[in-house]
Structure 1
């Protein structure tokens, strides 16, 4: 009998976890939102939990390191076949994301899900429908 695999839509790097730890010390609980805007508006944004008002057009993809991660529903249609990895890079972005004063910015890396992962997602994930 084949063993089912657990697939996450969004993951996080060790480097991003370190920044999240520093931000939590200062700001408390956090949340992320990935919009479909242009320029830095298409970067993942980090907020104090509740500071960004999630609307009916946003969906929760999962959690990264204990932080809810949301995306605009129309953007999800483009990304639903990919696994997103939250990472961090040196450099200042021009957004409202709270890591900006630290001289770093969150970014997204992506990779296509395998056929096996897509099949597992169909079984485990109501977003796939």
Structure 2
């Protein structure tokens, strides 16, 4: 749902429209100019829809411009760059990263040692479930 909300904002070429977003969606933390609602509160959801319908064009436009700027400025390139920079900051001291590499991803690929690993929770969970099934079958 996070990408759907961002796609809606990105697709709005006329700076109009209102994004109504569940407070439980991860995008709600980032897209604060949306109308945020608890989808389990039917009365509040109804009020939010009415508010969006009756919202003055100027407010809709102001909100949508701010949302579009946020989506444009926080794209996947920025996210990946900040993620890799955080990895650099927290890399074990015995990992020698190539300081001449301009792209953080290149610095990780050029690591001198291979003792740094990233834990893949989904893969680990799948292997654990498989091990459990095999143990039950025995």
TM-score over 0.5 for the pair: no
Larger Cα-atom Rg = 2
Q: Which has the higher contact order (CA 8 A, sep 6+)?
A: 1
Normalising by the residue count of structure 2, what TM-score does the alignment of the two structures yield?
A: 0.22
